[in-house]
Amino acid sequence: MSEKKDEMALDDVLDTILQKNMDELHPKDDEDEEELAAHRERMMVERAKKEEAQSIPLDETDLKVDPFEVDTMEVEDKILEETAVQIAQDEEVDQDAAKEEEEDVRVIEVAVGDKEDEKFTSKDLMSMLMYVGVILVLTFCIVHFVGQRTRVSGSSMESTLSDGDNLIVDKLSYRFHDPERFDIIIFPYQYAEDTYYIKRIIGLPGESVRIDYDGNIYINDELLEEDYGRETILDPGRAAETVTLGENEYFVLGDNRNNSSDSRFEGVANVDRKIIIGKAFVRIFPFNKFTLLGDK
């Protein structure tokens, strides 16, 4: 009884599948009903033979496998496979195009970067030239109008200054006021090119200077009180007789009084203000002897 019911259920399923396939191929065609019935009988016979050969019971799951549906699935799989291949190819093409575009952009960026570097280099060069120009102008102004570095050569200013001392010469102050007594000044030696003397001012314009043989210095016949000299003057030179200074003349001595060529001798004589370069302002070297130079 159960087998009977299974067979009837199988017939219903087969009818449904066959009807569906035939409707899809020839919808609502009454002339094909006989062909449909014959086809159904053939399928029943084939399935019965298959059961006998394999000894596998027939169930509804097997009946649901439609040959038309299998063919459709194979076609769909093939279409899907071809579609996937096409999509992969399209993506590869898109990636190549994107890569080429990126390379083009990179080339453009590099070219633009090169131009920017050129502009920056030119701008930087101009800035550097302007900076160097400003430094040169400032250096020129400082050296010629403000101050300059000078190195002491010799011992005529011992013990205030020593051979090898490095000084900064103030060239600006005398543009605003006259040189003062006891200033240490720098001026050129008139008988030798590029030779400069450094001495201390003792006599001022309009004054009379005299030195006796005891080494005493008189300014306008009054004894000058000072202790810059390293030792007592032994040779008063031309100052043994009173020396009267002109309107712009100065009388100078070295602190190392007996080892100095100064206003006592004709080679130096009186120093005109117009040749005075400036006054020694500070000793910067040696570092352990850094000193501001001025009145004691």
Going residue by residue through the chain, which has 296 residues, state the pLDDT in tens, using 9 for 90 and above: 544 444 555 556 556 655 555 555 444 445 556 666 676 677 777 767 766 665 545 444 444 444 444 445 555 556 556 666 666 666 676 666 666 666 655 655 555 555 555 555 788 888 888 888 887 776 666 655 566 788 898 899 998 999 999 999 999 899 999 999 999 999 999 888 888 999 999 999 999 999 999 999 999 999 999 989 889 999 999 999 999 999 999 999 999 999 999 999 999 999 999 999 999 989 999 989 888 886 54
Do 51 and 164 lie in one domain? The reply is no
- Domain membership of residue 146 (yes or no) is no
User: 199, 260, 263, 279: which is the annotated catalytic residue?
Assistant: 199
CA distance 273 to 256: 23
Among 220, 247, 246, 251, CA closest to 236:
251
pLDDT of residue 190: 85
- The reply to whether 156 and 284 lie within a common domain is yes
Query: Is 159 among the residues known to form the active site?
Result: no
- Of the three residues 65, 96, 115, the one that is the final residue of a domain is 65
| Residues 282, 158 share a domain | yes
- Domain assignment present for residue 142? The answer is no
Per-residue pLDDT at 223: 96
Q: Which residues contact 147 (CB under 8 A, 6 or more apart)?
A: 168, 169, 170, 171, 172, 278, 281
Q: Is 209 within a domain?
A: yes
Would 257 be classed as within a structural domain? yes
Nearest to 60 by CA among 23, 18, 11: 11
What pLDDT is stored for residue 68 in this prediction?
44
Please check whether residues 157 and 284 belong to one and the same domain: yes
CATH of the domain at 166: 2.10.109.10
- Closest C-alpha to 209, from 221, 197, 200: 221
| Number of residues assigned to the chain | 296
Query: Residue 280 — φ and ψ, nearest 5°?
Result: -70, 125
Q: Which of 50, 155, 156, 171 is catalytic?
A: 156
Instruction: Kindly report the pTM of this predicted structure.
Output: 0.54
The Cα-based distances of 245 to 110, 208, 270 in angstroms read 77, 6, 7
Number of domains in the chain: 2
Structure tokens at 79: 């279409």
Shared domain check, 288 and 158: yes
pLDDT of residue 254: 95
Q: Is residue 125 a part of any domain in this protein?
A: no
Structural domain including 6 reads 2-65
- Do 283 and 165 have their domain in common? yes
Last residue of a domain, one of 65, 85, 112: 65
For residue 69, the model assigns a pLDDT of 44
Q: Is residue 85 part of a domain?
A: no
pLDDT of residue 293: 85
Last residue in a domain, options 10, 31, 65? 65
For residue 284, being part of any structural domain is answered with yes
Distance spanning both ends of the chain, measured CA to CA:
144
Same domain, 161 and 287: yes
101 in a structural domain: no
Quick check: is 199 catalytic? yes
